[in-house]
Structures are given as C-alpha cells and as structure tokens.
Amino acid sequence: MEVRRGDGSVFRGVLMPKHETSHPDTVVIKLGNGYNIGVLVGEGDDIVVKGSLRPGTPGALVPLLEEPLQPAEERVYIIGAGGTIASRVDYETGAVKPYLDASELATTIPELQRYASIEAEQLFSILSEDMKPSMWEAIVDRAARVLEAGYDGVVVAHGTDTMAFTASALSFAFHKGLPSPVILTGSQRSSDRPSSDAAFNLTASVLAASRAPFAEVAVVMHGETGDTYALAHRGVRVKKMHSSRRDAFQSVNDKPLARIYPFEGRVEMLRDDYRRRGESGLEVDNGFEERVALVKHFPGLISEVIDALLDRGFKGIVVEGTGFGHVSSDAIKSIERARDQGVPIVITTQTVFGRVNLNVYSTGRKMLAAGAIPAGDMTSEAAYAKLSWILARTRELEVVRKMFQRNLAGEVSERHILRLYRHIGGV
C-alpha cells in the first residue's frame, strides 16, 4: 500500500497489524528496508491500496511490486510442519498458536515467485515441542514423494525449537541418495508480528531449494541480525543457540554450507565438500525408534537416571557428559548394566563445542571398557537422531557401535578445527 500525504511525502510498503494502544488514525507500514513505521493519516492524505492487504500478512521483503511477477520456472514444494512460522497470536488468550497453513503462507509472500513456482500443503499443525520421531517419518515420506515427482527442491516449514533434531533425522534418512535440496526453515517471531522473520527466511529457503548447487538437508535461517543474508547450515551440524534472536542458529564444529542472499537471488557456497544437485538419485531409508532418551551428566546421581531409563525399557540412551564426555565413576556400573541388557549408551559433550575424547583420562577409559560409544564432535541433536535411526535398523550392540562410528551425513569430523569457535559471551 501507499500513503500519499498532503505535504508530498509518500510511504510505501505492506500494511501491518497495529497495537491496540496506537492512535486510531495511524497505519503501520513495513517498508522495503524491513523497518516498520506508523504513519498518521489526515484528511488531505490518500491511501492507495495495491495487492493483498489482509492484516496478518507477513512482512514483504521488497518494495511493493508495481507489476505482477513472472513466476520462475523452477518448482518448489513447501511442506508445513507447524511451528511459529505458521502461527499467529490468539487475541483471546494473548498466546501464540499454530494457525496459518503452508499454502496461506506462500500466497501471502508473493516474492517467493521470483525464485520458483510454489505449491504447498500443511502436513500437520503442531508446535515445535510436540515433534516426535513418527512425525520425522511422515516428513521424510512426503518429501520423498515430492522429489520423485520432479520438484527442484523441498522446503519444510518447521518450529525452530526442535528443528535441529528433525534436520538431523532427515539427513540420516536421505544420506544414501538425494538429488535436490531439502531445506528446513522457520521463524523466531510469528508471521503476523511486524518483526517477523518468516518472509525473509522463507524467501531465502525457496531460493536455496530452487537454485542452490547443494543437494543436502539444510537449515536456512537468518545469518545475522540484519536482513542481508541467511545461512544454510548442514542439517546434522546445526543448533539453536539463542531462545529468541533471529540469528539463533549456528553451525557447531563445522562451517555452514552457504550464505543465501534473498534480495539479490544469490547463493554463495562456503565449502566445496558437498553433494551436488543431481549427482545422486533418490534413495530413502526411513524409520526411527522412539524409545531413545537424551539426558545429561550433573554433579549427583546420573547413575540413577541411567538406571531408571533402563528399568523403563528404553532401547538407547544418549548422555551429554562433561568436557571430554565423562560421567561420574559411580555411573560406570550403569553403563555396564546397559551393555549387559543390550542397550547402547552414546556419549556427547555438554560443552556444545569441541569433541568427546574418552582416551585422555582414566574415567573415559573405564567408560570405553564398559561399552560407551563416543560421538566425537557430533551435536547431541545429531547423536540422538542417529541412534534413533540406527536402532530402527538393528539392536545388535556391536552393529550399532559400528554404524554409529561411521560418518553418514557429515555429522562427525576426524580432526577438530579449533578456530571454529569464538567467544560469544559478552567480551
């Protein structure tokens, strides 16, 4: 829309919902630069309406289009899997609930058509914290059928909270063969809020799905606080590192795949070692075991936690140990008990960065002797999804160990690159 004021000034952008407390004669407009302004509209001013103007429209990325877009030739399919990107505020309770469906999302962001013609469907409508391994399977199935139908790429709109788990799960299910990108994206603010990052992330994701040279499972989210670029993180390497910032997602112990510039339509690769688009056919290996737990060491009774999970019949346990991956000495008997019951215990580290090494200290050596499986520099999210994927294929402990220690989807490196770590805290 445009506001043409009597003094000759013109404000152009997308109409946004406004706070109940604002002046009744103002309109809130999201400008092309991403900022929202409130414009007081007087008697001598004109409001010119163009295009879709429903309140709740996610913020547009580019100044309002004068001409209808010529849709790009590429075809991208958006699978809605819930989360904030498809949520809006419930004005009765004030809380955010799942609401928009994927096709509504797509039609309210006409800029997506710059990079692909879009089809969309809502697979399910849940909040991120309710994601389960059985839903990973449903997403894999749907994405596989889409890729079989010849689409250039898939975008999964997903809650951000558990996105790293789902991205890892999809990476393992597709690691044997994937011809095109499968991009997970979401937003940190719901689509009907002026500050929503939904449009930016979705546009960057459609661009990556339609044109990026990599054929991998990746998470595409804001790469910095501004609206310059998104980062494409390898699905098995990504972690949500902040509860609310737009640039919450980071690659852990590894470099991201690419920078994605949604305004410029440009994909800048940051590494060479990726699976190329069209390099392999589609080979899906779907299926996840749900009875896997993820717990962490603490200075107390971690042995009792492991014992309790064994009592309840969990089939695999990932333990975030301390530092190099240690648990207390009195928990070694619980690791032995797990081995005797045929339950694999995988060890990651709660430091987030760095790697598990059970060969340095005496405790680690005892843990190895008791049967613990070290996860190297894998994230806890990737280790959890990997163990769940393996346990749906075999429960033979030695086979689990061998499969776990094989690098399937880039989730682990032999050598740790120390410089991929910087101080984030305060100074």
Give the residue numbers marked as catalytic: 84, 160-161, 240
Q: Which residue has the tokens 């044109």?
A: 211
Cβ nearer to its own copies, comparing 136 with 151:
136
**Token pair for 384:** 């959890």
Least distance CB 318 / its own copies (angstroms): 8
Pairing between β-strand 230-234 and β-strand 266-269 as defined by DSSP bridges: unpaired
Cβ nearer to its own copies, comparing 4 with 291:
291
Distance CA 35, CA 275 (A): 37
Q: What is the 3-state secondary structure (H, E, C) of 25-88?
A: CEEEEEECCCCEEEEECCCCCEEECCCCCCCCCCCCCCCCCCCCCCCCCCEEEEEECCCHHHEE
List, in order, residues 6 or more apart from 78 with CB less than 8 Å away.
Answer: 102, 103, 105, 106, 118, 119, 120, 121, 154, 155, 156, 157, 202, 206
Sign of the C-alpha dihedral, residues 74, 75, 81, 87? Answer: positive
Cβ nearer to its own copies, comparing 13 with 325:
325
Q: Is 136 exposed, middle or buried (0-12, 13-18, 19+ CB in 10 A)?
A: buried
For residues 188 and 202, is the Cβ–Cβ distance under 8 A?
no
For residues 118 and 106, is the Cβ–Cβ distance under 8 A?
yes
Least distance CB 71 / its own copies (angstroms): 32
Least distance CB 327 / its own copies (angstroms): 6
Cβ nearer to its own copies, comparing 19 with 423:
423
Q: Which residue has the tokens 């890892």?
A: 168
Cβ nearer to its own copies, comparing 70 with 244:
244
From 365, 355, 16, 21, select the one nearest 189 (Cα to Cα): 16
Rg (CA), the chain: 24
Cβ nearer to its own copies, comparing 12 with 395:
395
Distance CA 411, CA 212 (A): 21
From 174, 110, 93, select the one nearest 136 (Cα to Cα): 174
Least distance CB 175 / its own copies (angstroms): 19
The DSSP symbol for 326 reads: B
Least distance CB 320 / its own copies (angstroms): 8
Cβ nearer to its own copies, comparing 149 with 369:
369
Q: Is 414 exposed, middle or buried (0-12, 13-18, 19+ CB in 10 A)?
A: exposed
Least distance CB 114 / its own copies (angstroms): 25
Least distance CB 189 / its own copies (angstroms): 10
Cβ nearer to its own copies, comparing 263 with 353:
353
Least distance CB 323 / its own copies (angstroms): 4
List, in order, residues 6 or more apart from 403 with CB less than 8 Å away.
Answer: 390, 393, 394
